[in-house]
Structure 1
Amino acid sequence: MNIIITGANRGLGFHLSTIAAQRGHNVIAGIRAASPDGQLLELINRYPGQIKAVELDVSREDTVARLAETLRADNQAVDAIVNSAAILLGRGGTLETLSLDDVAQSFEVNLYGPMRVVKHLLPLMPDGGQRIILNISSEAGSLSNAYGGDYPYALSKAAINMFSKQLKKYVKAKEIRVYALHPGWIKTDMGGEKAPGDPLESAIGILDIVEMKKEIAPEHYFINFKGEPMPI
């Protein structure tokens, strides 16, 4: 499979790239920088020919459009998109101290980013149930479990859940699977050291979903990394 993963240089995106390469998939690793370095560069060298790092800043539509043009010129189809790039701003702040700039920036990356990616890359996805679009979300985006905090992050994740629901209906005739996915509270730069979850375990579960190793009822669109439904 040709899998596009955004935010591939760190956190969950990096672990997803690792597991995908281990399983023999071709990974297009989207990063904000012009060229890879650090752990991603090491991973690319470990799996020569399987991972290609591309400049893909989801807040800049020109980088997304350029990737789509390159893939189209090379006659490359897209089998899976994992929108993993995200930001967490204003954690723990009160409503009275809330920065609306943080809210705007969170929507720019966490909602508009995946929308830009899907807008330009959906035309490169063949029809068929093996194809999948995964928007990494969070239990923070659950309306029924709203906890009254982390406004920039929670509101943007609730919005990506809605986008995923709309997208699922939009591509129903093409039989492309679409999910908003809660990866768990995992130990990453975003999740922090106190997080109980292992990002590698989460990545393995997510790749199992990509590879259709999990049975998921067709009506579900907000799930966790085990393929289990999440409360809306």
Structure 2
Amino acid sequence: MAVERTVPPVALVTGANRGIGYEVVRQLADRGHRVLLGSRDLAKGRAAAARIDPGGERVTVVQLDVSDEASVAAMAEWVTRDVGRVDVVVNNAAILYDTWAQARSADLGEVQRALDTNLFGAWRVTQALLPLLRRSPHPRVVMVSSEAASLQSMSGGTPAYGVSKAALNALTCLLAGELRRQRVLVNAICPGWVATDMGGGGGRPVADGAAGIVWAATLPDGGPTGGFFRDGKPVPW
């Protein structure tokens, strides 16, 4: 009697050649996912994938600049044609942690650039892959957010980053409500202050920050949707 092979779930992680995204790829691959490692720089993406999966059986690189509509469209076309499915989308790509700036004097060009990656990038990628997500038996969308986006604690500073992540939280709520009947779980995750190139030194280990994102990516059916979490616990909006 032939044994039926289980097809591994497919996860796309944006901005994944380093930092939290890289660790999310590693943890998902360790859990048995086939992971598509999105990277603006293809060479850096290939080097990152080779460190995680030298044999290339679990991690595949895809060139992806979330701020570029053509790049997102090309990614979605390739995934649809060559992979044929997506079960998890982790919108991790982000820029401009502008600790030097104040809202009263912010460079609005910088704010617009942050919005184009941190908000619209996630929006583009999710829309582009939604047809595949709808066909998945267990579809999940994870928005990598930040406590800097919490309106309850927001009091000034990092205007481009904070506003763009707050808008990403709003998008999370909208998509969760619209896709609830289609079983797509959509949540925002704060990984905490993590020791990465963007976060700087002194933060928590990258593996700890990534674990909360992986938690949301692997939620069971019937799990929460439309929430904002850190380490599996709610964060005030």
Provide the identity percentage: 34
Match of 2:205 in 1: 198
CA distance in structure 1 between the aligned counterparts of 2:53 and 2:106, rounded to whole angstroms:
43
Match of 1:212 in 2: 219
Match of 2:4 in 1: none
The answer (yes or no) to whether the contact 1:143–1:158 under 8 Å persists in 2 is: yes
**Which stretch shows the higher mean deviation, 6-15 or 199-208?**
199-208
Alignment pair present for 1:228 and 2:236: no
**Which stretch shows the higher mean deviation, 161-170 or 92-101?**
92-101
Flag the 1:24–1:155 CA change in 2: closer, same or farther, 3 A.
same
TM-score, length-scaled by structure 1: 0.91
CA distance in structure 2 between the aligned counterparts of 1:96 and 1:169, rounded to whole angstroms:
34
- Compute the displacement of 1:89 (Å): 4.2
- Compute the displacement of 1:209 (Å): 2.8
Matches within 5 A, 1:123-202: 123-126=131-134, 130-195=138-203, 197-202=204-209
Gaps of 5+ in 2: 1-8
- Amino acid aligned to 1:91: T
- Amino acid aligned to 1:201: D
- Compute the displacement of 1:64 (Å): 1.0
Please state whether the residue corresponding to 1:59 is helix, strand or coil.
Answer: coil
The answer (yes or no) to whether the contact 2:65–2:71 under 8 Å persists in 1 is: yes
Please state whether the residue corresponding to 2:141 is helix, strand or coil.
Answer: strand
Flag the 1:128–1:174 CA change in 2: closer, same or farther, 3 A.
farther
- Compute the displacement of 1:41 (Å): 4.1
CA distance in structure 2 between the aligned counterparts of 1:69 and 1:38, rounded to whole angstroms:
20
The answer (yes or no) to whether the contact 2:49–2:56 under 8 Å persists in 1 is: no
- Amino acid aligned to 1:203: A
Please state whether the residue corresponding to 2:188 is helix, strand or coil.
Answer: strand
The answer (yes or no) to whether the contact 1:4–1:78 under 8 Å persists in 2 is: yes
The answer (yes or no) to whether the contact 2:34–2:59 under 8 Å persists in 1 is: yes
**Which stretch shows the higher mean deviation, 129-138 or 150-159?**
129-138
- Amino acid aligned to 1:205: G
Alignment pair present for 1:8 and 2:16: yes
- Compute the displacement of 1:179 (Å): 0.4
Please state whether the residue corresponding to 2:187 is helix, strand or coil.
Answer: strand
> What are the Cα deviations for residues 126-163 of structure 1, in whole angstroms up to 9, with x where unaligned?
35672110010001111111121110000001000000
What is the RMSD of the two structures over their aligned residues, measured on CA atoms?
Answer: 2.1
TM-score, length-scaled by structure 2: 0.89
Q: 1:116 aligns with which of 124, 128, 137?
A: 124
The answer (yes or no) to whether the contact 1:18–1:43 under 8 Å persists in 2 is: no
